[in-house]
Amino acid sequence: MPRIVRFLCKLLYIPFLYNEKIYTAIWFIPFIIIFFLIVLPYNLLGRLFRGSRLERILWAPTPIKQMWDISRGERDLGLKSETLIFQNNIHRIPCDYNIEDWLSETLSRIPVFYAVFLWACMRYDVFHYYYYGGLLILVPIFWQLELPLLRLLGKRIVFSAIGCDIRLRSQAMRHKYNCCSSCSVFCDEKKTRERLDHIKKYASVLVAGGDMHEFLPESKWDVPEYAVDIHEFDELMEVKPPSDKIRIVHGCNNRQWKGTEHIITACEKLKEEGFPVELILVEGKPNEEARRIYATADIIVDQLLIGWYALFSIEAMAMGKPVCCYLREDLIWMIPKEPPCPIVNTNPENILEELRKLVKNPELRKRLGEMGRHYAAEIHDFRKVAQKWVKIYGGE
C-alpha cells in the first residue's frame, strides 16, 4: 500500500481509537467527493466518446472457479473481462486481481474498499456480482449506496447465484429433501431477504437457475452459471481406476449439505452384500489435488439433498465419470433436452439401489461416462457459456 495512504489511515485512526462506523464515515467524505468530481464526469465523457458499448466486464468479489472460466471465455470473444477477489480460498482460484494483502490491516480496509470501487467505476462497463454483494458489501453503513451509484454512472449490473447467497432456509425446508434441515450454519434469513430486495431495485439482470430459481422467481433461469474448460480434463480421463475394487468417490465440502451419511451407509451395505467397493471421501483438498482423486473413481456421487447439480458434477462428467446426484422432480424441466443429461437421479431413499446398478454394470458406467463428457462439452463449455452471458449483458 502506498505510504501516503498508510499515513492517512493512521492519522484518522488514532483520534477515534477505531470506531468502525465513525472511521467509515470519515473516509466516505473524500470518497464521495472524488466520485462526483472525477469519476462521474469521467464516465459521462466516456459515454459521449465511446457510446454505450459493453466491452469491459468485472467479475467480483467472490472467489468462485466458474467466475474465472467464464471470464476467460469472454476474453476469447474479444472483450476485456477481468476478475477481482477480496481473498482466496483453499482451492486457490485463479484471478486477475486479489486484494487480500491490502485488506490484511484493519486500518486499510475501509479506504481500500472505497478506492477499489472508484478505480473499477473508471475501468468497467459491466459489474457481474453474486448475491452476496459487490465491492462495498463489507463497508458498514454505506454499502447500500454501491448499486445506486453504479446506476447513476450507467453501468450494467448483473447478479448470478451460487447457493447460500440466495437460499432461504424457511422456503428450502418445505421440500422433503433439502440441505437446510440438518445444516448447523446460522443463516440470517432476514438479512438475506433485505439484501435481495435491495439488489432487485437496482440490478439490470438477475439470474438464478436450478434449485435457486424458487428464491428469486423473477430471475432468468436459462443461462448456465457453471462452466468448465473441457480440455482441462483430457489428461485426467486417461487415469485408470484401481482394478481390484469399484471406487466410489464423494466430494463433500460440507457433509450436512450433501447428505454424506446416506452415502456412507449405502456403501457399507454394498460391502455387506459382498460387492468389492471402496468409498473415498474428498474433504478439505485444494482443487487440483481433489481432481486427481476424482480421476481415480469408477463412480462419482455429488449431493443427495439440494436438488440440482453444480460444478462438481460437471467436472466429473468432463472426466467421463458416471455421476449420481439428486435432481428435484419439479426442477427437471430446466435441464436442456439435447443432449440428454446422463446424471443418475439419486436421493437418500434410492442411493443403495442406484449404486448397486452401477457397481454391477461396467458397461452402464462406461455409457453414462461418455454421455456425461458430451453433455459437459455441449452445455457447460466455458466459451459457449460466455457467449450466453454476453447476450445477457446486452439485454437479450
Pick the residue with more confidence: 267 or 89? 267
Express each pLDDT in 3-32 by its tens digit: 555 555 555 554 444 577 787 888 899 999
pLDDT score, position 278: 96
Rounded to whole angstroms, the maximal C-alpha distance in the chain is 75
To the question of pTM greater than 0.95 for the whole model, the response is no
| C-alpha to C-alpha distance for 42 and 154, rounded to whole angstroms | 12
Domains and CATH numbers, the chain: 3-227+384-393 (3.40.50), 230-380 (3.40.50.2000)
235 vs 233: CA distance, rounded Å = 6
Dihedral, CA of residue 91, residue 94, residue 97 and residue 100, to nearest 10 = 10
Strand order in the sheet with 299-301: 277-282, 246-251, 299-301, 323-325, 344-345
| pLDDT single digits (tens) 41-56 | 999 998 888 777 788 9
Output phi, psi for 298, to 5 deg: -90, -35
- Residue 1: pLDDT band by 50, 70, 90 thresholds? very low
